[in-house]
Structures are given as C-alpha cells and as structure tokens.
Chains A and B, each alone.
Chain A
Amino acid sequence: AQSVTQPDIHITVSEGASLELRCNYSYGATPYLFWYVQSPGQGLQLLLKYFSGDTLVQGIKGFEAEFKRSQSSFNLRKPSVHWSDAAEYFCAVFTGGSQGNLIFGKGTKLSVKP
C-alpha cells in the first residue's frame, strides 16, 4: 500500500540556518511527489512537485527538493530559513490515474528561532 513517512514531527532551526525536512514514500511505480506548506489557520499551499525528469526540483519561496529513487526519499531543503517559514510542512504522493488521490504524511512542524 502507498504511504508517506515524515520522521520528524517537530524541527527547530535558527533564522539563517539551512533546513532539510525528510520524506520517505512507499509506492510501486514512479511516484508523483509533492510538498505543501500550511501556515496556522490556513489551507495548504503547494511548494513544489516532482513528476519526472530532473531529480532536483525548485519551488516557491526558495525551497527545493531532491528525488532519490534508491532511497525512496523526497527531502525538502532551503539554504537559509526566514522567520516567515515557520509552518507545518506536508509531503504527499499521488496514487496515480484519473481515479488517483493524494496520500499525505503526518507533517513536520517547523519553528524558527530568532
């Protein structure tokens, strides 16, 4: 069965430090992978997505993610975190086809220290 694991429930980083949020997926075929961000009291905003091709994908707000098939991972990175990046981050895998849907991980809450 398809699944997404985000091993870190909560991460705290200092402003200006680099960030890496981990995501592992379980899916039989080539996955479609997504990272969403959710600010408090808000819906989800798409940060970036991987469908195929270049394994390093660029997103909005300076985020990037790297697809590693051998490790079944799709980790999110940012070289320098800003206080406004504090939010909850969700990794998701699409199950495929017009009848497919997204399966989400449990999310990683990011706190940013001044």
Chain B
Amino acid sequence: EADIYQTPRYLVIGTGKKITLECSQTMGHDKMYWYQQDPGMELHLIHYSYGVNSTEKGDLSSESTVSRIRTEHFPLTLESARPSHTSQYLCASSELWGMSYNEQFFGPGTRLTVL
C-alpha cells in the first residue's frame, strides 16, 4: 500500500544532541516537504525537494538540514538540538507534474521535545 512514514513518532532528547527525523514514502512522488507545526499554529514549510540531490529552504528559517539521496527518503537532521526546536515535524510528498501535482500527502508526524 502506498503511504508515507515517519519515525520516530515521539522523541524526547537533551540539549546538544544530534538527531535525525526519518521520512519515507512509497507513493513514487518526486517532491517532498518538511513542515514545522507548533500547537495552535499553522504549518510552516521549512524544507522541500524536487527530487534526488535537490533541497530547498522553505518560508520559515530553520537550523535543520535535509538530504535527498534516494527518491523515497527525505531525512531531516538537527546537529545540536535546543529547547526552541521543540515542535511537531510533518513530512509530506506530492507529484511534481500531472493532474494532482499540487496535492500533498502527509505522514503522521514526529513530536520532538528537547529538554
């Protein structure tokens, strides 16, 4: 079944740790996204990618980095986590062309807490 997966679902870590949030999709989509969502707030786009070896920064500045070595995989890394990084991180994917190119499919999210 085509889907989009995120691991871990919940993560509690201490300040200064390096973390990687995983996102994988089996939908065959070229475009992938990372959003940050604080409670009661809208989603803010922090990174996106058009395909392998493509990474772009989104509307919201973020200290995280991303990579796209494989089409189906789009991990997000924080080199040194801080309490200000506490948030929910949502991964999404979409087609790059075609009738539904602007329809995004979302993963379940990773809720990150940095102590």
Contacts and interface: CB of A to CB of B under 8 A. Distances in A.
Contacts of B50: 98
Interface in A1-60: 4, 9, 32, 34, 36, 41-46, 49
A: contact size bracket = 20 to 34
B106 A43 contact: yes
A94 interface: yes
B104 interface: yes
B96 A98 contact: yes
A106 B40 contact: yes
Contacts of A94: 102
Interface residues of B, number: 26
B75 interface: no
Given A42-B109, A43-B90, A43-B108, A101 B40 contact: no
B102 A42 contact: no
A101 B42 contact: no
Chain B contact surface mostly: loop
A43 B109 contact: yes
B97 A98 contact: yes
A4 B33 CA distance: 19
B112 interface: no
Given A94-B102, A100-B102, A107 B40 contact: yes
B50 to A, nearest CB: 8
A63 interface: no
20 contacts: A32-B102, A34-B103, A41-B108, A41-B109, A42-B109, A43-B6, A43-B107, A44-B92, A45-B106, A46-B104, A90-B43, A94-B102, A98-B101, A100-B102, A101-B33, A101-B58, A105-B42, A106-B40, A107-B40, A107-B42
